Amino acid sequence: MPAKLKPLSEQVLVITGASSGIGLATARQAAKAGAAVVLVARNEETLQSIADELNAAGGRAHPVAADVGDPEAVERVARAAIARFGGFDTWVNVAGVAVYGDLDEVSLADHEQLFRTNYFGVVHGSLEAVRHLKTKSGGGAIINIGSVLSDVATPLLGAYAASKHAVKGFTDALRTELVRDKAPISLTLIKPSSIATPFPEHARNYMDKAPRVPPPVYAPELVADVILHAASHPVRQMTVGSGGRQMALLGAATPRLADKVFALAIPKLSQRKGAKSAQDSLHEAGQDGQVRTQAYGGRRFSLYTEAQRHPGLTLGLGALALIGAAAYFGRAPLARNARPMAARMVRPLVTRAALRRPLSAARLASRHPREALRLARALR
């Protein structure tokens, strides 16, 4: 049965990696929307400070210091959520670490630690959430944070890309099992492009220069918007920012060309002026509490991301623009092609919307029978 996702104001969210970056931005926005949040990270002191901040502003926040790479610690997070709020509705796996360096330079210990957090942290959190949500009335949502590097790979972040490929494979496989079992759980993979978080400063760095993420760079709050959208709307996957989507398209369409482009461009774009950070958070908690990096800014709006959140409006406007162009120019070939082209664009959307909300579609058709008939004829 499909998950019945509640409005954010009625939800309890477990958010890992909540002490900085995307996780912290998501926790703040969720609390502002009225949701209760369970904050999870290794840095106990910072977590408590964030929880105090949210509670003082009228929110409901509960900190749980835990390493997501430890399955027993993750189980303790679930127990704490149940004890404090009676359970949870959405589990968001954000926690992640990174290593900048060529694969033949990165030590095996660093490689293993990265996978322990990035991959096994998602595995532990997802499976713990499944155990809780499978039997919960109405089910709930699991949201895993991948990356555009779930689809492509680049130099210097090879180990990180490998872990995010693994996250995508695990998420897709788990989804098929949930479908098979008819579990009332929405499982979403979100793939951010370059985001202006302290990600580079927290990464272990084998380079001689300070690291950064390649442009275009987007604000962490944009990813938080998408996460909270997925918490209340069943979504399979979303890419945040068109920059990452273009990388994925290039990699899929012309992989050899993409290899050459990434090999030449990414190393230069992954370095910036300034001193290297003296610390990292790969093996233990570092300095947290910041949503954004101080080194550069990020775009707060992405038209491509908004188009994914509102596909009906986007395709509808596209179809209207196409039909309007045909009418404006008045050219016979364009006019003849506009209608079937528009129908091909809109037909899957209308069908999907009707199947997802059959009662609403039936009520709408009964109120406007002539328009419904015209639409049916136009989309034949």
Residue 355 has pLDDT above 70, yes or no: no
pLDDT in tens, 116-166: 999 999 999 999 999 999 999 999 999 999 999 999 999 999 999 999 999
What length does the chain have? 380
In this prediction, residue 220 carries a pLDDT of 98
Does the annotation mark 160 as catalytic?
yes
pTM: 0.83
Is residue 45 within 8 Å of 62, Cβ to Cβ? no
Residue 342 has pLDDT above 70, yes or no: no
* 245 vs 307 pLDDT, higher one: 245
Q: Cβ-count burial of 49 within 10 angstroms (0-12 exposed, 13-18 middle, 19+ buried)?
A: middle
Residue type, 315: L
Q: Given 160, 206, 218, 304, which residue is catalytic? A: 160
Q: Which of 346, 354, 333 is nearest to 378 (CA)?
A: 346
Backbone CA torsion sign across 59, 64, 68, 71? negative
Residue 339 has pLDDT above 60, yes or no: no
In whole angstroms, give the CA distance from residue 108 to residue 102.
12
Over residues 105-118, the mean pLDDT reads: 98
